[in-house]
């Protein structure tokens, strides 16, 4: 299980795709926390902030690989370098 916590001032869209299985997708609204149920395995992750692309910025998509271990839980905080949120100040 992966908990996705959005600390940014815009929504994020996360897609997790395993080679031998279906894609799992979730949109995490501003200030929200969503749960993404992923069976154990290795996933190709696409983390996208559509609002940034609409502002004419460079595409705000990050691609990386992530391995989920059986019985483990993970928490991802969704932020950018421009994010100022509770708990991130110095």
The answer as to whether 41 is a domain residue is yes
Q: Where are the alpha helices (DSSP H) in 1-90?
A: 50-54
Counting the structural domains of the chain, the total is 1
Task: Assess if residue 16 is contained within a domain.
Answer: yes
Range of the domain at 70: 2-78
At residue 16 the predicted structure's pLDDT band, cuts being 50, 70 and 90, is very high
Residue 68 in 3-state DSSP? strand
Residue 75: pLDDT over 60: yes
| Distance in Å from the first CA to the final CA of the chain | 30
Tell whether 68 is covered by a domain.
yes
Q: Within a domain: residue 90? A: no
| Integer Cα distance of 85 and 36 in angstroms | 23
Task: Report pLDDT for 56.
Answer: 62
Contact between 27 and 12 under an 8 Å Cβ cutoff? The reply is yes
**Res. 8: pLDDT tops 80:** yes
Kind of pairing, strands 74-78 and 2-6? parallel
């Amino acid at each position: 299980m992966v908990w996705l916590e959005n600390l940014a001032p815009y929504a994020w869209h996360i897609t997790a795709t395993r080679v031998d299985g279906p894609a799992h997708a979730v949109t995490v609204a501003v200030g929200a926390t969503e749960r993404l149920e992923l069976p154990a395995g290795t996933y190709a992750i696409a983390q996208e902030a559509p609002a940034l692309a609409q502002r004419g910025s460079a595409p705000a998509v990050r691609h990386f690989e992530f391995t989920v271990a059986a019985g483990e839980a993970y928490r991802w905080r969704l932020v950018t370098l421009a994010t100022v949120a509770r708990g991130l100040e110095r």
